[in-house]
Structure 1
Amino acid sequence: MTTHLTRATTTAPSRGAVRAGWIISALVVVFMLFDAVIHLLNLDVVKDASAELGLPVDMAPKIGVICLVIVILYVIPRMAPLGAVLLTGYLGGAVITNWRTDQPLVSTVFFAIYVGIAAWLGLWLRDGRVRALLAA
């Protein structure tokens, strides 16, 4: 007895979709690189925010390294889906950390959700594999 697995068939993304996906992904990458660099440099603004959020100040450079690794994975086409999953987890941590310290909901707590949506949208637009996965 043989079984046939069926997969949703999707067409390859159009040239415009791929271009739009890379633009959206680039915006996410620029923001995340900025976040990684300020954490790596452990600037005063990061120290102040860490203290307000109840995080150890010496944790910032470690967060910066994690963020940088995730961004690198996200920009490598073959590793982009893994990078997007890890980025989602990273941003989920930002959501809960901001939420538990009663930060403004729409402008601060949800901002990480907006970035996560943009990251997945950019990847979906530029990567046929992700389209096929999400269409199944």
Structure 2
Amino acid sequence: MTATHTATPGKTARRIGLVLYVLVIAFLLFDAVFHILNLQQVKDSSIDLGLREEMAPITGIVMLIILILYAIPTTSILGAIVLTGYLGGAVLTNWRVEKPLLSTVFFAIYVGIAAWAALYLRDERVRSIIPLRRTLPSDSTDR
């Protein structure tokens, strides 16, 4: 049998996690505010995606609620789960209208990976849920 363990990230990894965390929140906060304000560019983009322009403020409010959940440490995992679902909708919406795959469609996936990486690097609870393990040499007593 092979022994495994979940490594605790060092100080640099936790700092990288904090930077990712702030960047994800800042980016999505700007996006939410622009949707709530229902700027003309947001209206045009909504129509281009096949959505009604009056949906933008509602999606902005939903994103703001998700961000609050993600930003509060006690609800951050729930926030990341709900954010993942929201971003999945963005992937499908962009893919449906044949936006560029790597730059536009997958951008929501990149944001989701950054959101989860930020939590993984900063939060022991996330590392216990998603244990990336390193296999250690087997001990002769395990045989």
Which of 123, 127, 133 is the matching residue for 1:131?
127
Q: Name the SS for the 2:125 alignment partner.
A: helix
Structure 2 CA distance, aligned partners of 1:11 and 1:73? 27
Give aligned-pair identity as a percent. 57
Partner of 2:57: 61
Which of 80, 84, 92 is the matching residue for 2:80?
84
* Displacement after TM superposition at 1:99 (Å): 0.2
Partner of 2:28: 32
1:113-133 CA deviation, whole Å, 9 max, x = no partner?
Answer: 100000000110000110011
Structure 2 CA distance, aligned partners of 1:83 and 1:75? 8
* Displacement after TM superposition at 1:19 (Å): 1.8
Give the partner amino acid of 2:50.
G
Query: Which structure: greater strand fraction?
Result: 2
Q: Name the SS for the 1:135 alignment partner.
A: coil
Matched pairs, number: 129
* Displacement after TM superposition at 1:15 (Å): 2.7
1:86-121 CA deviation, whole Å, 9 max, x = no partner?
Answer: 110110000000000011111100100100000000
| Contact 1:46–1:60 (CA under 8 A) maintained in structure 2 | yes
Query: Which structure: greater helix fraction?
Result: 1
Q: How high is the TM-score relative to the length of structure 1?
A: 0.89
1:74-94 CA deviation, whole Å, 9 max, x = no partner?
Answer: 111111100100110110000
Structure 1 CA distance, aligned partners of 2:57 and 2:67? 15
Q: How high is the TM-score relative to the length of structure 2?
A: 0.85
* Displacement after TM superposition at 1:22 (Å): 1.1
1:16-62 CA deviation, whole Å, 9 max, x = no partner?
Answer: 22221111011100110011000000000000000011101111000
1:118 aligns with 2:114: yes
Higher Cα Rg: structure 1 or 2?
2
Give the partner amino acid of 2:54.
D
5+ residue gaps in structure 2? Answer: 133-143
